[in-house]
Amino acid sequence: MKLKTLVMLFAVLALMASACGAAADKISEKAVESAAEKAIEEASGGQANVDISGSEDAPTIKVETEEGSVAFGAGVDMPEEITIPVPDGGTVQSAMSFDDGSAQASVAYDRDRYDELVSFYEDWVAGNGGDSWQKQTQSMETGDDTIRQTYWFDDESGAAIGVMDCAAFGSAGDGLDAACVSISQGGA
């Protein structure tokens, strides 16, 4: 299954889970899992396993297929395929890994760590083939807030690292309350 198809199906799955109150009760949880598995299997032509767990306020949704896995929620596991380091103290919010060895992950930190995270990756990139990495920085004013984004792209490996202001998964507020690190690594 193509990455776009898996991500699209996962978005449908997340909406279905929200509509049923995530993991609020086992009957609706199993019904949503079964319906999602069927939809993914029909779209991909292969087997799928869907697991919804956690609480209504902090659900975790995992999808396993023959071609890879996707997980969203507070505290999912970091994909083993990710070799770019991730600073301590964050919460993995999403993880994707595919049979070609490619992987993506997003990790949320306290928002006040943004500059520390940028500095961490500045140092890491400089020590790991800095000449092949390109950097882009953007910021945008929105009302009373500033949204910051810093990205690094490695032309040789296709890897990417992003640090941005974001809303943490399951946060109670409606604003930006975290600094998120996004990592993408290509497969063989």
Residue 1 scores a pLDDT above 50: no
Residues 81 and 60 in one domain: no
Residues 1 and 55 in one domain: yes
Backbone angles phi, psi at 37, to 5 degrees: -55, -45
Strands 48-54, 145-154: pairing is unpaired
Measuring CA to CA, how many Å separate 16 from each of 28, 39, 154, 168?
Answer: 10, 11, 36, 20
Q: Which residues, 6 or more positions from 32, have their beta carbon under 8 angstroms from its beta carbon?
A: 13, 16, 17, 20, 50, 52
More confident residue, 167 or 153: 153
**How high is the mean pLDDT of the chain?**
79
Residues 81 and 153 in one domain: yes
Q: Which domain holds residue 106?
A: 74-188
More confident residue, 156 or 27: 156
Residues 115 and 48 in one domain: no
Residues 99 and 138 in one domain: yes
Residues 180 and 105 in one domain: yes
Domain termination residue (choose one: 41, 66, 91): 66
What does the pLDDT read at residue 9? 55
Domain termination residue (choose one: 39, 66, 93): 66
Q: How many domains does the chain fold into?
A: 2
**What pLDDT band is residue 67 in, cutting at 50, 70 and 90?**
confident
**Strand locations in the chain (E):** 48-54, 59-65, 68-73, 91-98, 103-110, 133-142, 145-154, 160-166, 178-185
The per-residue pLDDT for range 71-130, each reduced to its tens digit, is: 888 668 899 999 999 999 999 998 988 888 889 999 999 999 999 999 999 999 999 877
Residues 4 and 62 in one domain: yes
pTM of this prediction?
Answer: 0.77
The per-residue pLDDT for range 155-186, each reduced to its tens digit, is: 888 899 999 998 877 666 667 889 999 999 98
Residues 51 and 138 in one domain: no
Residues 89 and 175 in one domain: yes
Residues 102 and 58 in one domain: no
- Distance from C-alpha of 73 to C-alpha of 61, rounded to nearest angstrom: 6
What does the pLDDT read at residue 4? 44
- Distance from C-alpha of 57 to C-alpha of 155, rounded to nearest angstrom: 40
What does the pLDDT read at residue 87? 97
Domain termination residue (choose one: 40, 66, 92): 66
Residues 24 and 89 in one domain: no
Q: Which residues of 159-170 are buried (b: 16+ CB within 10 A; e: fewer)?
A: bbbbbbbbebbb
Residues 50 and 128 in one domain: no
Structure tokens, 58: 């902090």
More confident residue, 153 or 14: 153
